[in-house]
């Protein structure tokens, strides 16, 4: 399978990469939905990660939201690993059409990849919803309790898609348009089951939809090729002969 996908990559000129949870975790990030973490979070906060990272929690319980956000979400900021270096190789060879990210840690931009469509936003982007002043993730981490705008004293919010919020229409449109133009899609560290994933890949009309993730999933049947491994282990091998 490795040799077959290698050949497909060599033949392709417009590749879209889609990055998911496993791609983030292997770069050092924490999976809040891991059973052990899920149990600990529900025991500590009396709510699930979805509830703590919801628009309702941010609106009505800002102190609790930021307690969770700073101590759990921002506890570890992962850095780009081998899979991202391999995507840079694709970019340097002129084969990478772009990256669609379902993560919130800005790994694609940290790796120097472009263009990137961050469908879930990024922890590195923070702003005041009143005066629109922008703030760094370090400002949010260093703040006591709720981070406040230096100008108007409104609470700063992270530019991530919270639960119950929709993906920005312009990002969705750009991502699906890119999938339409692609002659190959590499899905890295996730499966094809999510509604947003299905919507994006549903606009792809080719026959080179490749999924690289650790565990078998029922949605694998919708892929043209599947490799069961961590993206960081496999993708560098797939691009080494370019």
* Reported confidence tier of residue 241, pLDDT bands at 50, 70, 90: confident
Residue 110 φ/ψ, nearest 5 degrees: -60, -30
Backbone φ and ψ for 101, nearest 5 degrees, come out as -110, 135
Domain containing residue 109: 2-29+79-120+164-239
Residues 101 and 211 in one domain: yes
Say whether both 61 and 83 belong to one domain.
no
Which structure tokens are listed for 4?
């077959």
Same domain, 168 and 71: no
User: Does 48 reside within a domain?
Assistant: yes
The phi and psi torsions of 74 (rounded to 5 degrees) equal -95, 5
Q: How far is the C-alpha of 24 from the C-alpha of 237, rounded, in Å? A: 19
- The values of phi and psi at residue 123, to 5°, are -65, -15
- pLDDT, one tens digit per residue, over 167-207 is 989 999 999 999 999 999 999 999 999 999 999 999 999 99
- Calculate what percentage of the chain has a pLDDT beyond 70: 100
Question: Is the pLDDT confidence value at 125 over 90?
Answer: yes
Q: Are 47 and 113 in a shared domain? A: no
Domain boundary among 46, 75, 104: 75
The overall average pLDDT reported for the chain is 96
Confidence at residue 164, expressed as pLDDT on a 0 to 100 scale: 87
Same-domain check for residues 47 and 116? no
pLDDT value at 210 more than 90: yes
Contact 194, 222 (CB under 8 A): no
Percent of the chain with pLDDT over 90: 97
One domain for residues 67 and 97: no
Instruction: Indicate if 44 and 112 belong to the same structural domain.
Output: no
What predicted TM-score, i.e. pTM, was given to this entire model? 0.95
Q: How many structural domains is the chain composed of?
A: 2
Residue 216 lies inside a defined structural domain of this protein: yes
pLDDT tens per residue across span 92-118: 999 999 999 999 999 999 999 999 999
């Amino acid at each position: 399978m490795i040799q077959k996908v290698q050949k497909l990559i060599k033949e392709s000129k417009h590749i879209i990469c889609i990055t998911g949870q496993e791609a983030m975790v292997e770069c050092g990030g924490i999976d809040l939905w891991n059973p052990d973490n899920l149990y600990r979070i529900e025991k500590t906060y009396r709510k699930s990660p979805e509830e703590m990272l919801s628009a309702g929690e941010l609106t009505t319980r800002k102190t609790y939201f930021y307690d969770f956000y700073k101590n759990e979400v921002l506890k570890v900021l992962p850095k780009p690993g081998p899979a991202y270096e391999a995507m840079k190789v694709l970019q340097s060879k002129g084969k990478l059409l772009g990256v669609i990210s379902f993560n919130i840690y800005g790994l694609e931009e940290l790796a120097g990849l472009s263009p990137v469509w961050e469908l879930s936003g990024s922890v590195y982007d923070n702003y005041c919803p009143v005066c629109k002043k922008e703030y760094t993730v370090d400002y949010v981490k260093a703040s006591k309790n709720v981070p406040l705008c230096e100008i108007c004293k409104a609470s700063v919010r992270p530019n991530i898609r919270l639960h119950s919020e929709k993906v920005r229409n312009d990002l969705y449109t750009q991502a699906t348009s890119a999938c339409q133009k692609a002659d190959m899609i590499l899905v890295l560290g996730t499966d094809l089951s999510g509604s947003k994933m299905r919507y994006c890949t549903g606009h792809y009309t080719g026959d080179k939809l490749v999924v690289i993730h650790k565990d078998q999933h029922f949605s694998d049947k919708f892929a043209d090729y599947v490799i069961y491994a961590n993206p960081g282990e496999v993708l560098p091998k797939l691009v080494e002969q370019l």
